[in-house]
Structures are given as C-alpha cells and as structure tokens.
Chain A
Amino acid sequence: MKKNVSRFLLVVLAVVVMLTIAACGNSQQATKTEPNAGGKKPVIALSNSFYGNTWRHQMVDAFEAAAKLAKAEGLIADYIILNGDGTQQTQMTQMNDLILKHVDIIAIDSFSPTAMNGAIEKAEKAGIKVLSFDSIATEKDNYKLNFDFPKFGKDMANYAVQQFNGKANVLIVRGVAGSAPDNDMYEGTMEVLKNHPDMKVVGTVYGQCTTSVTNSQISSILPSLPNVDVVILQSGGDDYGAVQAFQTAGKPVPKILANGSAEFVKWWSEENKKNGYTTWGECSTPGIGSAAVWLSIALANGENVPKDMIMPFAEISQKDLEKYQSMQPGTIVSPEYTKDWVYQNLLNKK
C-alpha cells in the first residue's frame, strides 16, 4: 500500500515537472525555424547566458521584437533565441548548437569576459561572425557593443554636482560587490566627486542591484546619517528601494537619481504633480537587444561594422516622464532602438 502511494506521488511529481518544463519551454527556448525561403537571407541567433532577472527578460523581448520586424521586412530568413541558466556549461552547449546549425551571426550576452572566448573562436573558424554585447567577451576578433560604465558613474555625479552647486551630502548605492560594472561606475563617480571637496559622501552601501537589499541597507544606516541631499545609484529598481527607505523612516525623500524602474518613474510623476519633485537619470537599457539585431544584420550583409562600439544609456528626464507611465511593474525603461538609429549612432559614428 505504502509503495503504491509513493509510486503515485512519483507520477504526480513527474507530471508537475513536465508541466513546469512545458510552461517554461515557451519562454526558455524560442526556436522558430522555418524553411529558408529566400535562400540567401541570413539567420541570426542570440545566445543569452542568464534568464533569471527582469533586465534579461526585457533584453530578450527587445531582441525578439526587432528580429520579428526584420523577418517581416524580409531582412533575415529566421532567428534563434537560446536562453541559459547562468552557467558556463549551458552557454557552451548553446554555442556548439548554433555552430552545428551554422547560423550566420551569433549575438552573445556572455557568461563572463573570458569564459566564452574559446567557443567564440570556434564559431569564427566555422565562418560565423560573433557580436558580444552587454556582458561582452574579450576574444579579439568578435565585435563588441559595450556600455560605457565609467561614463555612467561620471554622468550621475556631474548631475549631482551641477544641481547642488558642488555642495551636498551624497549617499552612494553601489551594485554587486566585486563586479566589473560596479567598479567602473563607482570609479567614474568618485573621479568627479574628488574634484568637488564640498560634495561629501556621507554613506556608501552595496545594494547588490536588488530592490529589497538596497532598501534594507539604506534603512539600516539612515538613522545614523546626517541629512542626505542626493542619492547616486547604479541599477534599475534600486531607485525605488531608496524612495521606500526614506519614506519608511519618515524622512523627506532627497534627490534620488533615476535608474529607470517602472515603480520609480510612476512615483516621480505623482510626486511631481503634488509638489514639483524632479530629478534626472540614466539606465543601461535592455533595449540594447534590439540594437544587437540590427548590428547582426549589418554584419551578415558584410557592411563596415567597427570592432568596438559604445552603447549610449537611455536618458530619463522630466520631459519624457509621461511616455513611461504605462510601463509594466518591475520593468526598466527600455526604448526600442530602430534600424535607422543604429546606423546613425553606432555604425556611422566617427
């Protein structure tokens, strides 16, 4: 009897697992291969190392939207999207799979700067051009579309300096301890602040790019801080975590630089109507996925693409606040980058 029960439970568990896999299947691996009608049109692929956070979801959505458009316009024969689980092995498998399928271009959001270099080299030997973006790979022959993180840190600090005429108490929220973007952004910020001795850093916390961590880190030191004038942050979602920390503590919310979370943009707009609160910000936008599509097509057509390109940040200012009001909760400001934009800003930039 007991054995039967456990067998039954095993079957139930197996069904649950299969259903879960089926449910995730749609989003995890969207392979849409149809007969190659044009014969010569390229097939582009996305190899995404990690699919567990909102940013990557939006990036993949942006890639897919642009690729669909390109397919409808007849610019590509097809596209393949492979999403990983945040491990090196999975992305290796993805790359091998794509090499075997012999796609024309692989756009890769890499597991790490170096871990995928071997796989990329292998793809290039097989005649596939590789474009790494967001989390780029250092392999010498691949095309790179990178965010300029030190500039981000500088932009944030410069805005703070300008708003407060070089005299303010600053709270800095860093990102993931030990990560390269965190280091770059922080150094950019400090480079600006060190030239303004009256910009006093009263506290530095690590928000780990997670709203809940940012919130509790700021909350825990807030009672011991002097008055904070401005908060400099790095990553979408942290901005709203900071707002909540100040509100819970019953303190007036200082100028918090926007990082593009839907929640913050909404709060900012409401506050602005109430009392004229305003701020400014930038974010490393997931819309980079759409830019990667147009660059991949340019590469496939043999156009002149620079090896190193810089992706600008999406700016968030008072004037375009209204157009972000319909954003889905939990998402980050993500403008869609068109083909024309890519040609003007990335390909023909001198």
Chain B
Amino acid sequence: MKLAINNIGKNTPWIWACLGSLICWLLTSLLLSKLDFQSLLVNAALASLLTIVSLGQMFAMTSGDGGIDLSIPYTITLSAFLSFGIIQGSESNLILGMSVVAVVGIVIGFLNAISIITFKIPPIIATMAIGFIVNSGVLVYSSSFTSNKTSAVLTTIANGRLLGIPIIILFAIALILIITFVFEKMSYGRAITAVGQNRLAAFFAGINVNRTIMLAYMISGLLAAVGGALIGARIDGAFLEMGQSYMLQSVGAVVIGGTLVSGGKASTVGTAFGALMLTLMVTLMVISRLPIGVQYIIEGIILILVLIIDKPHTESD
C-alpha cells in the first residue's frame, strides 16, 4: 500500500499540491454550502501572480547548493515603481518601460549570480544582500516618484477577463508551458537539473556550470520583475514593501509543488499548484473565521503534512 502511494507521486510530484488545492476548495465550498467556481477562478488569478514569481524562485532553487532568491520581493517593488514611473499611463512608453523593467530584473539576477559564483557567498546571504541594495534603490527612487498611472495593456493582463476567465491565468499557463518545455526538451533544462544534482558530475559531463547557475538567477530576476509590473498594475499603484509577502510565499509554492529544496529536481506544474494551494488555504482560513493565531497554526500543520506525504518518493529516487 505504501509502495502504491509512493508510486503515485513518483513522476507527478505536483499531484499532492493539486489534491491539497482541491481539498482546500472543497472545504471552502462546504463552509459556504455551495460549489463556488467564481471563488476558485479568483483565487487562481491571485495564484497566477504568485506563480509567475515562484517559477523564478524554482530556477534559483533547482540550481542546487542551497540555491534561493531572497531578492525577489525587492525586485518586485522596484519594478512596480519603475513600470509606473516610466510608463506614466502612456501606451507608447509600454515597450520602453517593460524593457527597462526586464533589464533591471536580469541585472539584479546577474549581481546575485556574481556574488554567489565569483565571491562564493552562500545564496541565502548573497541574494539577501543584493536585495537590501535594491531596496535602497527603491527608497531613493520612490522619494521623487510622481506617477500614478501604468499601461492599460498591463492592467488588462492583470485584471481583465477573456470569456469569463481572468487573463492573468492564461498568461501564467503560457509561462508554465514555456518553462515545462525548457525543462523537458531544451538542453538548458537538462543542464540546470544536472548542475543541481551534482555540480562536479555536471562539470565533467561538459556543462558550463557557472553559466547555468547565472542564467537561473537571471531568469528569477526577470520573472520577479515582470511579476512586479503586473502586481503593480493589479493594485493600480506602486507602494513600498508591496513585494514583501512574496518572499516566503514564493519559496512555499515551490517546495509544496514538489521541487527539491536541495536542487536538481524541478516541478513547474507543481509550483503552480503550490501557489494555488497557498492562496486557497488562506481563503479557507479567512472564511472559517477562526482566530488568526489558530489560522496560522492550521496553515503550518497543513504545510508540514503536505511535505511529509511528499517526502517518501523523494527519498526513494
């Protein structure tokens, strides 16, 4: 029986996060005594924003050796400010604005990678330090900040609906498909998986280890930057500390989704379901009307349970 359970998740590590999401949604529906698809859609839309930045986190974590990107929240905030500051409500500035945002995100990723690869600083410290520097940039930039309009295109992607489905969900699904393709079919996907599992072996296999790691952090920076511009568009403004809640949530979504913390195994679909589960869980807790302390305890217990169930097949690999 145990063996059977182990096999369920073997090739589909996302199944547990998917089941968890389903359970959270069913429990919410039970509390409301109706199957609420609208609530599922709205939560999926919120989870989509989290998915975008979490997929970047997934690249950083998959690169192994304690890989993690803690500069994500600061990149989100900075790119929200930049997108508003440059676009200023004019569609003709959209391409310029998004290019700057993308370049800034990639540069932040590059600086993270340099600190980790060249100076051999552990990722958790290196990305935090770069994050602080980025945050100083936010403080300086925001003090002379005057724009309160972003592009209508970004607002439509973040808030609009197509045939009743939030566009941001479609955007996230497209991203998931691309990244799944990268991991399944492209040499870079194989390379980062190999690097995450064993750097020395990857090196002897002829993989450019440093370049692979560097790309992972640059992708993480880029996705955080794109996510930041969209999160800004969603709340129609750039605010200090607006990215803060994405620091732990992005790590949470990745880990719940079945990606290995130690690196070398990524689950793109799992990350999306991890984000969905985290979002639905918070909704469930809020609707349950339990005291906030109890909510936090239950959230913690659910997370630990998911990780315990998730564990056997990761060990049997």
Asked if A213 is at the interface of the complex by the 8 Å CB criterion, the answer is yes
Given A27-B140, A263-B148, A328-B146, verify A212-B42 contact (CB < 8 Å).
Answer: no
Task: Among B41, B49, B235, point to the contact of A244 (Cβ < 8 A).
Answer: B235
Task: Among B137, B146, B239, point to the contact of A211 (Cβ < 8 A).
Answer: B239
Asked if B244 is at the interface of the complex by the 8 Å CB criterion, the answer is yes
Instruction: Tell whether, in the assembled complex, residue B240 and residue A212 are in contact, meaning their CB atoms are under 8 Å apart.
Output: no
**B interface SS class:** helix
**With A and B bound together, what is the CA distance between A295 and B254 in angstroms?**
51
Contacts of B84 in A (CB 8 A): 329
Instruction: Tell whether, in the assembled complex, residue B240 and residue A206 are in contact, meaning their CB atoms are under 8 Å apart.
Output: no
Asked if B143 is at the interface of the complex by the 8 Å CB criterion, the answer is yes
Instruction: Tell whether, in the assembled complex, residue B139 and residue A24 are in contact, meaning their CB atoms are under 8 Å apart.
Output: yes
Given A216-B46, A329-B148, verify A211-B139 contact (CB < 8 Å).
Answer: no
Asked if A150 is at the interface of the complex by the 8 Å CB criterion, the answer is no
**With A and B bound together, what is the CA distance between A249 and B237 in angstroms?**
18
B170-178, B265-273, B280-288, B303-311 - interface stretch: B280-288
Contacts of A5 in B (CB 8 A): 118
Instruction: Tell whether, in the assembled complex, residue B139 and residue A52 are in contact, meaning their CB atoms are under 8 Å apart.
Output: yes
Given A9-B114, A10-B119, A217-B286, verify A222-B147 contact (CB < 8 Å).
Answer: no
**With A and B bound together, what is the CA distance between A329 and B241 in angstroms?**
15
Instruction: Tell whether, in the assembled complex, residue A240 and residue B36 are in contact, meaning their CB atoms are under 8 Å apart.
Output: no
Contacts of A206 in B (CB 8 A): 292
Instruction: Tell whether, in the assembled complex, residue B148 and residue A244 are in contact, meaning their CB atoms are under 8 Å apart.
Output: no
Asked if A6 is at the interface of the complex by the 8 Å CB criterion, the answer is yes
Instruction: Tell whether, in the assembled complex, residue A223 and residue B240 are in contact, meaning their CB atoms are under 8 Å apart.
Output: no
Instruction: List the B residue with the shortest CB-CB distance to A208.
Output: B245
Asked if B6 is at the interface of the complex by the 8 Å CB criterion, the answer is no
Asked if B21 is at the interface of the complex by the 8 Å CB criterion, the answer is no
Asked if B2 is at the interface of the complex by the 8 Å CB criterion, the answer is no
Given A20-B136, A223-B39, verify A215-B244 contact (CB < 8 Å).
Answer: no
Instruction: Tell whether, in the assembled complex, residue A57 and residue B143 are in contact, meaning their CB atoms are under 8 Å apart.
Output: yes
Task: Among B39, B234, B245, B292, point to the contact of A213 (Cβ < 8 A).
Answer: B245
CB distance from A227 to the nearest CB of B (A): 14
Task: Among B49, B237, B292, point to the contact of A177 (Cβ < 8 A).
Answer: B292
Asked if A69 is at the interface of the complex by the 8 Å CB criterion, the answer is no
Instruction: Tell whether, in the assembled complex, residue B235 and residue A240 are in contact, meaning their CB atoms are under 8 Å apart.
Output: yes
Asked if A42 is at the interface of the complex by the 8 Å CB criterion, the answer is no
Contacts of A205 in B (CB 8 A): 286
**With A and B bound together, what is the CA distance between A52 and B114 in angstroms?**
26
**With A and B bound together, what is the CA distance between A24 and B138 in angstroms?**
10
**With A and B bound together, what is the CA distance between A197 and B57 in angstroms?**
47
**With A and B bound together, what is the CA distance between A57 and B241 in angstroms?**
13
Instruction: Tell whether, in the assembled complex, residue A212 and residue B38 are in contact, meaning their CB atoms are under 8 Å apart.
Output: no
Instruction: Tell whether, in the assembled complex, residue A244 and residue B234 are in contact, meaning their CB atoms are under 8 Å apart.
Output: yes
Summed over the interface, the residue pairs from A and B with CB atoms below 8 Å come to a total of 132
**With A and B bound together, what is the CA distance between A268 and B65 in angstroms?**
51
CB distance from B39 to the nearest CB of A (A): 4
Task: Among B43, B46, B238, B244, point to the contact of A329 (Cβ < 8 A).
Answer: B238
**With A and B bound together, what is the CA distance between A147 and B257 in angstroms?**
44
**A interface SS class:** helix
CB distance from A58 to the nearest CB of B (A): 10
Instruction: Tell whether, in the assembled complex, residue B240 and residue A330 are in contact, meaning their CB atoms are under 8 Å apart.
Output: yes
CB distance from A306 to the nearest CB of B (A): 34
Asked if B28 is at the interface of the complex by the 8 Å CB criterion, the answer is yes
Instruction: Tell whether, in the assembled complex, residue B139 and residue A266 are in contact, meaning their CB atoms are under 8 Å apart.
Output: no
Asked if A219 is at the interface of the complex by the 8 Å CB criterion, the answer is yes
Instruction: Tell whether, in the assembled complex, residue B46 and residue A53 are in contact, meaning their CB atoms are under 8 Å apart.
Output: no
Asked if A269 is at the interface of the complex by the 8 Å CB criterion, the answer is no
Given A262-B148, A263-B148, A329-B148, verify A215-B235 contact (CB < 8 Å).
Answer: yes
Within 8 A of B (CB), among A254-284: 262-263, 266
CB distance from B151 to the nearest CB of A (A): 16
**With A and B bound together, what is the CA distance between A153 and B243 in angstroms?**
27
Instruction: List the A residue with the shortest CB-CB distance to B161.
Output: A250
**With A and B bound together, what is the CA distance between A132 and B135 in angstroms?**
28
Given A52-B135, A220-B279, verify A330-B286 contact (CB < 8 Å).
Answer: no
Asked if A166 is at the interface of the complex by the 8 Å CB criterion, the answer is no
Instruction: Tell whether, in the assembled complex, residue A237 and residue B32 are in contact, meaning their CB atoms are under 8 Å apart.
Output: no
What are the interface flags for B289-315 relative to A under an 8 Å C-beta threshold, 1 for contact and 0 otherwise?
100100010000000000000000000
14 A-B pairs whose Cβ atoms sit less than 8 Å apart in the complex: A6-B118, A10-B118, A20-B136, A57-B143, A204-B286, A206-B292, A211-B237, A221-B39, A221-B283, A221-B287, A224-B283, A263-B237, A266-B148, A330-B239
Chain B residues with CB under 8 Å of chain A are 28, 32, 36, 38-39, 41-43, 45-46, 49, 84, 111, 114-115, 118-119, 133, 135-137, 139-140, 142-143, 145-148, 159, 231, 234-245, 279, 282-283, 286-287, 289, 292, 296
Q: Contacts A20-B137, A210-B242, A216-B279 given; 6 further ones with Cβ under 8 A?
A: A178-B292, A215-B234, A223-B36, A224-B32, A224-B39, A263-B236
